[in-house]
Amino acid sequence: MSFHKLFRFCRKIIDFNAFQCRLSRKLSTKEVQEDGFIQCPERVFSGIQPTGVPHLGNYVGAISNWVKLQEEGNSMMVSIVDLHSITVQQDPAELRENIQTMAACLLACGIDSDKTILFQQSTVPQHAELCWILSCLCTLPRLEHLPQWKDKSKRVSDPKVGLFTYPILQAADILLYKSTLVPVGEDQITHLELARDLARSFNRKYGLIFPRCSQLLGDVAKIRSLKDPSSKMSKSDPNPMSRIDLSDSPDEICDKIGKAVTDSLSKDITYDLDLRPGVANLIDLHSSLTGQSVEEIVKYVQNQGMNKKTYKDYLASVVNDKVQPMNAEMNRLLSDRGHLNSVLKNGQDKASSIAVNTMSDVMSLVGFR
């Protein structure tokens, strides 16, 4: 075969392969357009407000899951969402300190800044830019129907616009990094649905840019208040005895667990969410920290002949074994503010490099560029 014939033969093969690639791209684009989203590499995004030291409910329900996802090799981003925190009034000096405390706490709990992008939300201005653009796609009735707005607006005499629109900022947080998985509690699912709706609306109106963001529900039982087992453990609860903060001393933890609400039905330890919610809450907390099943814990406690008081003493030692090393590491990190600032600056740089690229495309599609 002559050189020219060989060249023409190879050219036909190349052209045919190129045609197949173009056809494949058209088919995949059609599939994406029908769904309303693009395909993106998997990325996990989550955020936490700097409104005080996290408690054990925050740790077992969120932070420990982030650490697990990080160690499984997921592409992780964790944001200290200080923009969200000012939906209620904050003292500026206290807020600055809480941001540092939250950074130290997350690192002490196992977040590795070499594996996870840990950053402060307000240092990446593209969050607010995208929030405004998404706000122009969202209707008032859509926000008014969100259960969190109905609940929170009743608690204050003059609810602010920020409290009304913060779910759009949440959507911007997620979409700015083209996140595909978002660890959330059941109370935040409606907000994630809003993020999906806004992503789809933008994609249809301006052009395909955002992927589908899906919720990632943890398998950890909800940790409830030590003083009111019908409510979840919360930083906003005015009674500090209702929660175990990760900064609590050993004596404070023993005192809080010792005074936790149980019942007068029996001195023995049994698990019954309906009849014995206080005891069940302590067992759920125990299970969440150790990885033991409820059945294993109950069997062990009964075999040891523990009553409610001796079980509370035992549980306090289990909690202290988990909390005190994190507490010590958090205090060590807080004594080195230069290191904390360096971690947050490094996270800011990494987050900004993604955010700038996303917003460049958004601005172009909208017509600003």
Q: Give a yes or no: residue 198 inside a domain.
A: yes
Task: Mark the ranges of the chain whose per-residue pLDDT is less than 70.
Answer: 1-34, 218-221
Q: Are residues 291 and 198 in the same domain?
A: no
Q: Give a yes or no: residue 20 inside a domain.
A: no
Selected catalytic residue, list 115, 160, 222, 235 = 235
For the record, the structure tokens of 71 come out as 């160690």
For residues 288 and 266, give the distance between their C-alpha atoms in angstroms, rounded to a whole number: 24
Q: What is the pLDDT of residue 278?
A: 96
Q: What is the pLDDT of residue 32?
A: 52
Q: Are residues 55 and 148 in the same domain?
A: yes
Per the DSSP assignment, residues forming a β-bridge with 45 are: 77
Q: What is the pLDDT of residue 364?
A: 97
Q: What is the pLDDT of residue 148?
A: 79
Give yes or no: 232 in active site.
yes
Residue 261 one-letter amino acid = V
Question: Helical H runs in the chain?
Answer: 3-35, 56-58, 64-71, 82-85, 92-108, 126-135, 140-144, 147-152, 161-176, 189-205, 250-258, 277-290, 294-303, 308-334, 337-366
Q: Give a yes or no: residue 284 inside a domain.
A: yes
Q: What is the pLDDT of residue 157?
A: 76
pLDDT tens string 335-369 = 999 999 999 999 999 999 999 999 999 999 999 98
Q: Give a yes or no: residue 54 inside a domain.
A: yes
The domain of 207 spans 44-222+336-366
Q: Give a yes or no: residue 77 inside a domain.
A: yes
Q: Give a yes or no: residue 67 inside a domain.
A: yes
Q: What is the dihedral of CA 57, 63, 69, 70, to 10 degrees?
A: -160
Q: Give a yes or no: residue 116 inside a domain.
A: yes
Give yes or no: 256 in active site.
no
Q: Give a yes or no: residue 315 inside a domain.
A: yes
Selected catalytic residue, list 152, 160, 222, 350 = 152
pLDDT tens string 135-176 = 999 999 999 888 878 777 777 778 889 989 999 999 999 999
Specify the number of domains making up the chain.
2
For residues 349 and 117, give the distance between their C-alpha atoms in angstroms, rounded to a whole number: 9
Give yes or no: 26 in active site.
no
Q: Are residues 290 and 350 in the same domain?
A: no
Q: Are residues 101 and 216 in the same domain?
A: yes
For residues 369 and 361, give the distance between their C-alpha atoms in angstroms, rounded to a whole number: 9
For residues 76 and 368, give the distance between their C-alpha atoms in angstroms, rounded to a whole number: 30
Q: What is the pLDDT of residue 74?
A: 94
Q: Are residues 280 and 207 in the same domain?
A: no
Q: Are residues 308 and 323 in the same domain?
A: yes
Distances (CA, A) of 321 to 24, 86, 171, 223, 299: 56, 34, 38, 18, 21
Selected catalytic residue, list 178, 232, 312, 322 = 232
Q: What is the pLDDT of residue 219?
A: 63
Q: What is the pLDDT of residue 185?
A: 78
The backbone region for 367, taken as left when phi is positive above 0, alpha when psi lies in -120 to 50, beta otherwise, is left
